[in-house]
């Protein structure tokens, strides 16, 4: 599979992203990436300072794909659209999500949702510190939902399966057994529910003063 176009940082990032989406983070390695590119493992280090540097660059590439185009409307619509966009962008690259979650130095473009959210919430009357806290809340929520979706929530957390496998007894967990989790679960709906709850909670906080 020897491409003869010259190696470059961009080509490494693109191929790494493709490889992550194909095989997942666990199976990613510099040597296998080099194989895919028909090149010696060591050639990689001419364009990238380390594996960590490369993976960070991949996370940046994914995040900067997001198009937070101007949205008109009240703050709820602005903020809601912003995090729906972030979610969709992440879901488009499941293999890279763990990297985005644990990014150390964020790509400039991640400041866009922060700016949009903080500006919208301050405009609605929220204080500076609470606005950043709300941004942090929305970010952890969104990336958390995406992360669990990709890793397959419901595989280990379905109470009915847990009982079937003898991991818990039905007597001690009456409430959660009412829910047929596996058959009915929809991540999109769960996300919209969570988003509505959060925006609603911020709204009541704003009205209270």
**Residues engaged in binding a second copy (CB under 8 A):** 98, 101-106, 108, 110-111, 114-115, 118-119, 122, 128-134, 136-137, 139-141, 143-145, 147-148, 151-153, 155-157, 159, 162, 167-168, 172-176, 178-179, 181, 184-185, 189-190, 193-194, 196-205
189 contact choice in a second copy, DNA, none (CB below 5 to 8 Å, kind-dependent) = a second copy
Q: Of 45 and 185, which CB lies nearer to a second copy in the complex structure? A: 185
Q: Which of 51, 76, 122, 160 contacts DNA by CB under 7 A?
A: 51
What is the residue-wise DSSP string for the chain? ----SPP-HHHHHHHHHHHHHHH-GGG--HHHHHHHTTS-GGGGGGT-S-HHHHHHHHHHHHHTT-------S-HHHHHHHHHHHHHHHHHT-GGGHHHHHT-SS--GGGHHHHHHHHHHHHHHT--HHHHHHHHHHHHHHHHHHHHHHHHTTTTTT-HHHHHHTTSS-GGG-TTGGG--HHHH--HHHHHHHHHHHHHHHHHHHHHH-
Of 52-111, which residues contact DNA (CB under 7 A)? 52
Return the closest-CA partner of residue 7 out of 32, 43, 35: 43
Q: Of 49 and 172, which CB lies nearer to a second copy in the complex structure? A: 172
Q: Which of 47, 84, 122, 160 contacts DNA by CB under 7 A?
A: 47
Choices 13-21, 45-53, 59-67, 163-171; region in contact with DNA by CB under 7 A: 45-53
Q: Which of 15, 18, 25, 30 contacts DNA by CB under 7 A?
A: 30
Binding site for DNA (CB under 7 A): 6-7, 28-32, 39-43, 45-47, 50-52
């Amino acid at each position: 599979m020897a491409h003869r176009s010259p190696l470059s940082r961009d080509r490494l990032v693109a191929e790494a992203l493709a490889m992550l989406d194909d095989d997942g983070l666990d199976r990613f390695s510099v040597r296998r990436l080099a194989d895919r590119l028909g090149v010696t493992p060591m050639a990689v280090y001419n364009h990238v300072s380390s594996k960590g540097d490369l993976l960070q660059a991949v996370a940046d590439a994914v995040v900067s794909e997001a198009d937070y185009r101007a949205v008109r409307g009240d703050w709820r619509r602005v903020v809601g659209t912003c995090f729906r966009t972030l979610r969709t962008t992440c879901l488009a690259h499941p293999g890279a999500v763990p990297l985005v979650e644990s990014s150390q130095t964020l790509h400039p473009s991640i400041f866009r949702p922060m700016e949009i959210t903080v500006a919208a919430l301050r405009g609605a009357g929220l204080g500076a510190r609470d606005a950043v806290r709300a941004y942090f809340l929305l970010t952890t929520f969104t990336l958390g939902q995406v992360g669990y979706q990709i890793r397959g929530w419901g595989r280990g957390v379905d109470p009915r399966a847990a009982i079937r496998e003898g991991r818990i007894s039905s007597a001690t967990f009456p409430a959660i057994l009412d829910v047929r989790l596996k058959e009915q679960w929809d991540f999109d709906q769960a996300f919209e529910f969570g988003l509505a709850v959060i925006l609603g909670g911020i709204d009541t906080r704003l009205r209270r003063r």
